[in-house]
Amino acid sequence: MPTPKRAANGPRRLVRKPTGNHHIRVVSVRFLLIAALVAAGVKLIQVQGFEAEALAAKAEQQRSTEIDIPAIRGSIVDRNGVELAFSVDSRMLAYQPQAMRKAYPDKKGFEDRTAEIALALRTELGNRVSESDLLARLRRDVSFVYLVDKVEPAFAREIQDRFPEIISEYRAVREYPGRSLASNIVGVANWRMDDPNVKKHNLHGLSGLETLRDHELSGKPGRQVVDTEEGSQSVVIPGTERDLQPATDGSDIQLTIDADLQYHLQQSLANYVAKGQAKGGSAVIMDARTGEIYALANDKSFDPTAADGLDTASMGNAAVSTPYEPGSVNKIVTALCAIQEGIAKPGDVHMVADSINVADRTVHDAWGHATLPFTTTGIFAKSSNVGTLMLAEECGPDRFSDLLHKLGLGQRTGVGLPGESPGRVPPRGQWSGSTFGNLPIGQGLSMTVLQMAAMYQTIANDGVRVPPRIVSARIAPDGTKVAEPRPKGVRVVGAKTARTVRDMLRAVTQDGEGLNDGTGPAAALTGYQVAGKTGTGQQIEPATGSYSNSKYWITFAGILPADAPRFVVGIMLDRPNYSGGPPEGRSAAPLFHDVASFLAQRYNIPLSKKPSPIVPLIED
């Protein structure tokens, strides 16, 4: 224990002897400091000398974003180049409320700024936007919000100059200048979310050719790297764009339809359906030689530009998707068989009663009469069920079935439209005795209005059926035109047979004396020979499963002109007011007349060299 020492005139104090512990601690601290400095130096050398490039790339990735370069969607045009659908540049304005709140620590500053933005947008865009709605969006507690769509690029630049925090996203607006014109054919394209978790949009087809030919129309987006604002992948720093892969624009699609003719057919059909108090209707106009569709319409269409949304109930295309039992227009099959097989000639006389037994069924003519001497032409011109079944029995089920197949019934036409139905023809092996009492008169099988017209295109084209088509060509972005493959024709009957039947069907439109008038004189067009066939198909009563006596499909198929065929027209009316209603509910022949008149004028079709002869339908 240390000995206390007394200071002069004072108390004693303790004096400690030095030890070695302090020296060790100093040395240890110095060693640790040196080690830390060495480690830091080594790390600095590693970062700056060996990892600089990799770390720079990583830093670049943290502020760079890879985005799409949008491709321009191709247009859809008619046969004359009239645009039915095309795209124009547009912008979508957006905002980042949460990020902007942080930029304005003062709550009042944030509210003043958002109020200024909402007022500016309302002032410039007018009734397109609501100031209160914009304000609510701008102040939402979310990271990202869309403000207004379909803004012109020039306005988007102007508003961003005033308010740099506004985000502008690329859009393309799909324009349909004809609104509902050919909408069932063209369809509609719109923006949709590819992934609900990301803000990435693409313009894609939703219906019609916009969907079926979407791949060709949409092209292929390119890729681009851009630098974005810190903390945001939406605000691009101008001038930082670097292309990785350029965009490939979509191709234009050229159709075979004529926009003016399409408009006329749509309007005429809709008006006729309304007058006839029908539930619906469809019609088609085909080129007699090539099978090209010049117009295809339904009474119901939709406006793809409607502000209140799409009418999805009218977006289908019943002309190709909804089959029906055609009634007497199907008697052309028996006529072809009878002439082709030499069973009868046009002027041959057949004693026809007003009823006939087929297996366990009795079939009647539409009008009661005594046994009368019908000519072969008269059987079809006056649409005798009994006379048709008499000739069909001589034709036989096998030859009849073979003709149905060659005429394309029970098969899709391959027209190039989505949702096409093949219709239905009972397989030959499933026919019973009574089946052959139905098929020749157009019951027990179904077809679309397009298939019906295609049958008559066969006789208009001298016995060769050319499958219909509606797309003419694809036009690449560089202007190169690539024609669609032309379908091969199918020889159904000989040219002489086809011409003979075509001439026989001129009598359908003749207005003769006494019993020598056909069933469709209202289809006749002054100055032109017209061949055609009327039809009335009974519909099934859902409650009983039997044929109705009040619900019908009314049909007409016609050729203009019969002596030099240019066009084939097919018409179907669904459940018009047939009994006791207006005349439009009992026949589609007057509608054919109106359409044929427009065709003759628009295409300057030469007048027939001579009128159709009046031929005997029932011999005296």
Convert the pLDDT of each residue in 88-143 to its tens digit: 888 889 998 888 888 887 888 888 888 999 899 999 898 888 889 999 999 898 88
pLDDT of residue 200: 47
Q: Which whole number is the average pLDDT over 519-545? A: 96
Give the whole-angstrom CA distance, residue 229 versus residue 327: 70
pLDDT of residue 531: 98
Query: pLDDT digits over 348-390, tens only?
Result: 999 999 999 998 889 999 999 999 999 999 999 999 999 999 9
pLDDT of residue 494: 98
Q: Which whole number is the average pLDDT over 164-193? A: 87
Confidence of residue 214 (pLDDT cuts 50, 70, 90): very high
CA dihedral over 101, 102, 107, 111, signed as positive or negative: negative
CB 538 within 8 A of CB 327: yes
Domain with CATH 3.40.710.10 in the chain: 259-304+315-473+487-602
Confidence of residue 168 (pLDDT cuts 50, 70, 90): confident
Instruction: Name the percent of the chain lying above pLDDT 90.
Output: 64
Query: pLDDT digits over 328-350, tens only?
Result: 999 999 999 999 999 999 999 99
CB 261 within 8 A of CB 123: no
User: How many CB atoms lie under 10 A from the CB of residue 333?
Assistant: 26
CB 501 within 8 A of CB 339: yes
Confidence of residue 535 (pLDDT cuts 50, 70, 90): very high
Confidence of residue 497 (pLDDT cuts 50, 70, 90): very high
Q: Has residue 195 got a pLDDT over 50? A: no
State the angle between helix axes of 385-395 and 397-406 in degrees (0 to 180), rounded to the nearest 10: 100
pLDDT of residue 127: 87
Q: Has residue 1 got a pLDDT over 50? A: no
Tell which wins on pLDDT, 193 or 396: 396
- Provide the residue type at 550 as one letter: S
User: How many CB atoms lie under 10 A from the CB of residue 226?
Assistant: 18
Query: pLDDT digits over 572-585, tens only?
Result: 999 999 988 899 99
| E-state strands within 519-601 | 531-540, 547-560, 567-574
CB 322 within 8 A of CB 282: yes
Q: Has residue 463 got a pLDDT over 70? A: yes
Instruction: Name the percent of the chain lying above pLDDT 70.
Output: 85
Confidence of residue 83 (pLDDT cuts 50, 70, 90): very high
Model pTM greater than 0.75? Answer: yes
pLDDT of residue 199: 41
CA 252 to chain centroid: 15
Give the SS3 label for residue 308: coil
Q: Has residue 526 got a pLDDT over 70? A: yes
CB 364 within 8 A of CB 386: yes
The CA–CA distances, whole Å, from 539 to 121, 326, 404, 458, 574 equal 57, 10, 21, 27, 9
Q: Has residue 446 got a pLDDT over 90? A: yes
Tell which wins on pLDDT, 35 or 400: 400
pLDDT of residue 372: 97
Q: What is the CATH number of domain 259-304+315-473+487-602?
A: 3.40.710.10
Give the whole-angstrom CA distance, residue 35 versus residue 41: 10
Class in CATH terms, 65-255? alpha beta
Domain with CATH 3.90.1310.10 in the chain: 65-255
What 8-state DSSP symbol labels residue 419?
Answer: T
Q: Has residue 228 got a pLDDT over 90? A: no
> Which residues are the active-site residues?
328
